[in-house]
Structure 1
Amino acid sequence: MNKKLKSSIFSVGIIALSLITVGQMVYASTKDPGSKDDPIVTLSYIELKLEQLKDYIDQKSFSSNQPEPNKPTENSTFQVVEIQRGQSLIAGAGTEIILRSGEAVAVISPLGGLSDVTGAEDLKKDEKIPANHLLIIPRDDGRGVRALADSFLLVKGGYTIN
């Protein structure tokens, strides 16, 4: 082959390679990062998705803390709750109750009574609740306290008042 033909073939090859490279770059730039068309995951994509997940969890957490009718109120800190004579506070599993003033008795379930952590005993049906004793409700099965007089309680966890 002569020199001119070799040079032409080489030039055509370089041009074809350049066009393929430019085409690939244009194709790659039109895809959304992290989509199924672009399987390479970048740190910025992961950070974006984590931020979206955090916002979603925060939103769900906020909306679940808003009281709704017939939905147990749930607290992560102790809240002062007043119950009137004859009312019952029925607690969810893991709820903590402290009688601060008034008189109240234990409301139990067939599976057991209330755990009086301070007194190291299990309170039985209609047993008076000692003031300032920490009670823990082990299960969500209808246990709680019934007021014999207007009473103030400290409550941490889920509960309903009947």
Structure 2
Amino acid sequence: MTFNKNLVISLTLGIFIGVIGVVQADGTAGTTTDPLVTVSYMELKLKALDDKYLAEVNALKSQIEQLSQGGNSSKGSQLFEIINVPKDSAVYFADSAEFIVRVGKATVIDPNAVGIPDLTAGSKVLNGKGVPIDHHMLVPSNDGRGIVTADDCWMMIKGNYTIISNK
């Protein structure tokens, strides 16, 4: 009985490849040894992401609620509104808001260091500087600009604004 040399090599190689395939298929789905992704694996990962982002959203909602408890908002109008702003309060203006401080002392809040245009003087009032009495001021964009009062202030405001009382 004479065996063909090529037949023996082919059978040995076939058995070897078959054994490797069986060993590789032994891993469980969704592990590092078997990269097959199952629905349950994806649901688990998506649930973890949902929980993470839900916690962040709830934290932001809490911060917004804390800020809104200390202040009140006005929709503003096309006419000047006369309001009294208590001492140590902050007034933040929306875009295109106009205001005039009639009585009291206030300083500019400007996180971007661009100033608030003073239309009466034709200049800008920079962060930390006093707002001149009876000067027409304009806030061009909703970027956190406003004023903080050092005294009780009477103001005229046209447009949207938010008052946050520090009392």
TM-score (norm: length of structure 1): 0.55
The yes-or-no answer on 1:140 pairing with 2:142 is yes
Residue 128 of structure 1, CA deviation: 0.5
What residue in structure 2 maps to residue 157 of structure 1?
A: 159
Q: Higher strand fraction: Structure 1 or Structure 2? A: 2
In the alignment, the residues of structure 1 paired with residue 163 and residue 86 of structure 2 have an alpha-carbon distance, to the nearest angstrom, of 10
CA distance 1:71–1:151, change in 2 (3 Å): closer
Q: CA RMSD in A?
A: 1.6
What residue in structure 2 maps to residue 116 of structure 1?
A: 118
Gaps of 5+ in 2: 1-70
CA distance 1:149–1:121, change in 2 (3 Å): same
Q: Deviations over 1:54-107 (max 9, x none)?
A: xxxxxxxxxxxxxxx965422110001111111011000000000000110111
What residue in structure 1 maps to residue 93 of structure 2?
A: 91
TM-score (norm: length of structure 2): 0.53
In the alignment, the residues of structure 2 paired with residue 144 and residue 97 of structure 1 have an alpha-carbon distance, to the nearest angstrom, of 10
Gaps of 5+ in 1: 1-68
Contact 2:73 2:163 in 1 (8 A): no
CA distance 1:141–1:154, change in 2 (3 Å): same
Equivalent residues in 2 for 1:42-53, closer than 5 Å: none
Residue 144 of structure 1, CA deviation: 1.1
In the alignment, the residues of structure 1 paired with residue 123 and residue 73 of structure 2 have an alpha-carbon distance, to the nearest angstrom, of 30
Q: What letter corresponds to residue 150 of structure 2 in structure 1?
A: L
CA distance 1:156–1:127, change in 2 (3 Å): same
In the alignment, the residues of structure 2 paired with residue 83 and residue 71 of structure 1 have an alpha-carbon distance, to the nearest angstrom, of 12
| Structure 1 runs of 4+ with >6 Å offset | none
SS of the aligned residue for 1:100 comes to strand
State the identity as a percent. Answer: 24
Q: How many residues align?
A: 94
